[in-house]
Each structure stands twice: as structure tokens, then as C-alpha cells.
Structure 1
């Protein structure tokens, strides 16, 4: 896990790279907010579409996925910033796999809920 003090190591990278890293972080945060909004909308209106247990599982699953994406996006931002400062290769983006698997599971659960 990267530490905030590691952000002071190495040399300052080209500002364009730092700003690009920040824009990517903000895109992940927007994605997390979208997932949280979907969970809230499903909680408010989804019980008419999807039955009880599936409804609850989807709401909790989407909210947890939003939290995980938000947290991993911060870790990703820090790891990339540290790599830029140390002129090291960029880390592999694990957040994309988390999001892809999480959304796939949510869609499958939703479709099962619709079929029930």
C-alpha cells in the first residue's frame, strides 16, 4: 500500500502526466458515484421490478462496488503518481478488473431477478 510520504520521493514529473493521472482518478470517482446513484435508485424504485432478496443483494452489491472502486481509485492514483516521480513503469490497473467483474455479477443477478 502506498504511503502519502512516498509522494515526496523522486523528482517532480511533467505536470501534464500528473494532471492526466488526476483526471483518470476523477473519472473513477465519477464511476463510483454513478454506482452509488444506481444503488440509491434501485433502493427507492427497484422493489417494483426485482423481488425482495435479489433487490437487497443488488442494492448492497452496487453500494459495496461503489466503495471498492472509490477506494481502489485512490490507491491507483497514488501508485501512478509515485511511479511517475520515480520514473518507474506504471502499475497494472486492478480497478478495471474489479469493476468489470462486479458489474458482470450485478447484471447476472439482475437478470435472474427479472426472470423470477
Structure 2
């Protein structure tokens, strides 16, 4: 995140705080292949195992869900037209959260007894 912060500071006119920003393209973003190329080099310099942009997208969404962000918001953030798309792609995360949440009701009612 520190590296991204430095990157944002260096890029002019990056009002949307895009990671793969290009002031020279029509939509101000670089193409996916180039983004993957840049990311791969950047991760190699940091001695971090490679991941694709698409992999980062999944990681981003999974972290949001694990941290309790509403699935409807995550779906919107990913640009999914239907929330079912998000459920289908992240069902493994949602099931883990459901298992974790199974103990919450007992804890809540236990605290009410105190």
C-alpha cells in the first residue's frame, strides 16, 4: 500500500486514484496485457509471488467480504450486473463467513445474560 501511495503521488491528473493510470490514453487506463506486464515486473522487484490483475480483483473482493463489507456493495464495486454473479464467484468466501457467523448468535445472547 505504501508503494501504491507513492505511485498515486507521482501520477498527474489521476483524480480517480487508478493504479494503472495513463494520461496518454483515451480512457486514462492501460490495457490489461500491459498492466499484467507492469505488475509482474513490480512484484518481481519486491520478491512477491506473481499474480494477475484478475487475481488481484478476486483478492480485493475476497478481502472486502472477509472484512464484513456488504455483498451488495462488493457486487456493485466489481461492476456485476446481478448480485447472483457475485454470490456464484465468491460462494466459498460466503460459506466461510456463514460458518464463522454461526457462533455469533450464541455470543450475543450470552452477553445479554450478563
Q: Same fold (TM over 0.5)?
A: no
TM-score if structure 2 supplies the norm length? Answer: 0.22
Larger relative contact order (C-alpha < 8 A, sep ≥ 6)?
1
Which is helix-richer, 1 or 2?
1
